[in-house]
């Protein structure tokens, strides 16, 4: 029988987690009080702003238990937060992990969950400095608070887009949602684990290194990640910037994989691109003369990037077809309560 | 019918929460990006360390739904975190609130929950800068990350106690647990709402202002709050400081209310003092010559304080009776999984 959390208790579990962090994580000499205390403390770097974000994941709502490994679940939960810091042009530095767990969960799964967190933090020399563990009788939850830093005055906003700016997007938003649909429609989920779009759903990438590089140039007017879907997040930029946008139908980037899967599922691949999807790509707006700078930065990072449209002075986001016809697009972001 | 979360959806709820925060909370000119973005950012004060803590509360585990108002629940969740910052000698500055909610919850209850958070933050000019809201089918959860600040090098630890130090404790730990027992044993919980110990459970106080004042003196050797119970937290000090302790039986502070209720419940009031109880009092250790300084500081803050024992060089915590007999005490801290 696998050792369960209830076999070793809360303090036993904390000791095991601490051992994984000490052995496999990186340390920081800026941390003055780390994991094990009720409160962590660190010395912020002079000349930097502190960024802070949090995102929770709930079992069977944000992830399908049984179709993702604990290691990948840890990665995915951390990527989601790293992406938010990266979209501000920042670098993650410290994480707090708050878990709601059931006693029957094997201890090794929690250790693997932390290995997943750590594998995403280590490339940034970022570390877990604290958190909280509680029992729950309901669905498991993972709530991460990620602290980042960005040079003073260099934090990217979603509110700076102006009419005439071009709209760039990295990668292929929509792939993750198509991967999820594949899983939901499958009779045998395990056979799908290696499908590129299922991997895109279970172990998405973030673009935080590119985000930080873009932030440093101070040439982007707005930036956001696509965690609410392309249309939802372009909508956030337009709303806070008080502008509108035109998206060119024929420029929408659709990967061959997405094209295939959309065909299999009998759906329009552009619906996946526009709609809600857990990809962590970046939307960037900038003056047209700076687009080439970002294209070459993205190439340096090995990240595909596509110019998909323009910011307009009047509100509303429109799809413009090759024949010049326009269709107003409405955001269909996921709502937890509707 | 009361308006429910499912009536207005996630983004409707966020707008309502934002309105409460804007109207009733305080602002900060250090916050460069506040609520509404995926990530908040702030400029840390030069010469200060940043403190960060998080604590989650789960329905029917950390609070009894139906026997606490949403406003009081908000206060209690925030107090728990403020207490952790205060025990480091720090001052809370920013909060992130992560909620797991069910759609059938009335919107007004969530607004009241935030009023509770705000009422505890406002005295510190601290503000809510972000968070996350998700749906859940299981028990509601409230997970708060609280960020504080403390002058560089002035953060209080639990690891500095040395043999010969006196042990001071504020207030009357154990009252909250007795209040909870009253509620659990009652046939009619509503009639107990005004009982002082039930109020102690539902709306505990923190000692963060006193904690900050103690931190400033740089004369305490260790400090911790009693959120794991007096014995559990004195145990944390002893373990990390690699020392032991003697607690004088006749010095244990028991309030008249606790004496009465323990009698009613047929229990020894000292068990409440020593055991697990959600009071947010402080345990402070210091050299004997500094005890008077802390007694007068506590008096300035209107907080009762009692010298209850001494730190010893050898490990183990002992209860010492008036007749000189000694009993080894074993921590019976709450374990979520046992």
Residue A131 near chain B (CB below 8 Å)? yes
pLDDT confidence tier of residue B64, bands split at 50, 70 and 90: confident
3-state secondary structure of B106: strand
Residue among A87, A149, A94 nearest A117 (CA) = A94
Q: B141 and A136: CB-CB below 8 Å?
A: yes
Tens digits of residue pLDDT in B201-211: 988 999 999 99
Q: Which helix (H) or strand (E) holds A144?
A: strand A141-151
Q: A56 and B132: CB-CB below 8 Å?
A: yes
Q: What is residue A333's predicted lDDT score, i.e. its pLDDT?
A: 62
**Topology of the domain covering A5-151:** 60s Ribosomal Protein L30; Chain: A; (3.30.1330)
As a whole number of angstroms, the distance between CA B45 and CA B50 comes to 9
Nearest residue on chain B to A152, alpha-carbon basis: B43
Non-local (6+) Cβ contacts of B29 within 8 A are none
Q: A335 and B100: CB-CB below 8 Å?
A: no
- Mean pLDDT throughout A136-140? 92
**The domain made up of B166-329 is a member of CATH 3.90.650.10:** yes
pLDDT confidence tier of residue B13, bands split at 50, 70 and 90: very high
Tens digits of residue pLDDT in B233-275: 999 999 999 999 999 999 999 999 999 999 999 999 999 999 9
Secondary structure (H, E, C), B279-323: CCCEEEEECHHHHHHHHHHHHHCCCCEEEEEEEECCCCEEEECCC
As a whole number of angstroms, the distance between CA A56 and CA B144 comes to 12
Between B235 and B63, the more confident residue is: B235
- Mean pLDDT throughout B93-105? 95
pLDDT confidence tier of residue B192, bands split at 50, 70 and 90: confident
Question: Which member of A52, A53, A150 has the closest CB to residue B147?
Answer: A52
Q: Where are the domains of chain A?
A: 5-151, 166-329
The DSSP annotation for A78-128 comes to HHHHHHHHHTTT-EEEEEEEEEEE-TTSBHHHHHHHHHHHHHHHGGGT-EE
pLDDT confidence tier of residue B285, bands split at 50, 70 and 90: very high
**% of chain B exceeding 70 in pLDDT:** 98
CB contacts under 8 A, A 59-98 vs B, are: 60-62, 84-85, 87-88, 90, 94, 96, 98
Instruction: Provide the ipTM.
Output: 0.90
Burial of residue A23 (CB within 10 Å: 0-12, 13-18, 19+) is: exposed
Tens digits of residue pLDDT in B271-281: 999 998 889 99
Backbone angles phi, psi at A287, to 5 degrees: -65, 145
Q: What is residue B20's predicted lDDT score, i.e. its pLDDT?
A: 95
- Mean pLDDT throughout B109-118? 97
Residue A155 near chain B (CB below 8 Å)? yes
Smallest Cα distance from B234 to chain A, Å = 13
pLDDT confidence tier of residue A332, bands split at 50, 70 and 90: low
Q: Which helix (H) or strand (E) holds B233?
A: helix B230-241
Q: A133 and B336: CB-CB below 8 Å?
A: yes
Q: A152 and B43: CB-CB below 8 Å?
A: yes
Residue A32 near chain B (CB below 8 Å)? yes
Say what the alpha-carbon torsion angle B106, B109, B113, B114 is, to the nearest 10 degrees.
70
For chain B, what is the mean pLDDT? 93
pLDDT confidence tier of residue B333, bands split at 50, 70 and 90: low
Tens digits of residue pLDDT in B115-155: 999 999 999 999 999 999 999 989 999 999 999 999 998 99
Between A329 and B332, the more confident residue is: A329
Nearest residue on chain B to A5, alpha-carbon basis: B337
Q: What is residue B334's predicted lDDT score, i.e. its pLDDT?
A: 64
């Amino acid at each position: 029988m696998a050792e369960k959390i209830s076999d070793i208790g809360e303090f036993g579990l904390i000791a095991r987690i601490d051992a994984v962090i000490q052995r496999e994580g990186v340390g920081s000499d800026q941390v003055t009080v780390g994991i094990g205390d009720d409160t962590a403390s660190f010395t912020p770097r002079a000349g930097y702003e502190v960024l802070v974000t949090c995102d929770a994941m709930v079992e069977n709502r944000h992830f399908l238990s049984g179709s993702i490994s604990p290691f990948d679940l840890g990665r995915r939960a951390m990527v989601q937060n790293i992406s938010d810091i990266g979209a501000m042009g920042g670098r993650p530095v410290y994480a707090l992990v708050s878990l709601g767990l059931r006693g029957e969960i094997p201890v090794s799964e929690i250790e693997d969950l932390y290995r997943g967190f750590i594998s995403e933090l280590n490339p940034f020399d970022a570390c877990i400095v604290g958190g909280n563990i509680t029992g729950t009788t309901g669905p498991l939850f993972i709530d991460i608070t990620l602290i980042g830093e960005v040079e003073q005055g260099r934090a990217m906003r979603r509110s700076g887009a102006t009419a005439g700016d071009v709209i760039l997007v990295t990668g292929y938003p929509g792939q993750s949602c198509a991967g999820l649909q594949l899983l939901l429609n499958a009779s045998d989920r395990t056979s799908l684990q290696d499908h590129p779009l299922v991997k895109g759903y279970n172990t998405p990438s973030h673009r935080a290194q590119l985000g930080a590089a873009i932030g440093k140039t101070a040439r982007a007017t707005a930036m956001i990640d696509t965690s609410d879907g392309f249309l939802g997040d372009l909508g956030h930029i337009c709303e806070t910037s008080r502008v509108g946008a035109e998206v060119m139908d024929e420029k929408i980037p659709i990967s061959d994989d997405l094209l295939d899967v959309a065909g299999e599922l009998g759906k329009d691949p552009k619906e996946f691109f526009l709609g809600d999807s857990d990809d962590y790509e970046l939307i960037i707006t900038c003056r047209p003369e700076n687009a080439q700078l970002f294209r070459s930065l993205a190439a340096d990072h090995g990240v595909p990037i596509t110019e998909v449209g323009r910011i307009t002075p009047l509100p509303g986001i429109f799809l413009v077809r090759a024949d010049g016809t326009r269709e107003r697009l409405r955001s269909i972001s996921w709502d937890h309560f509707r």
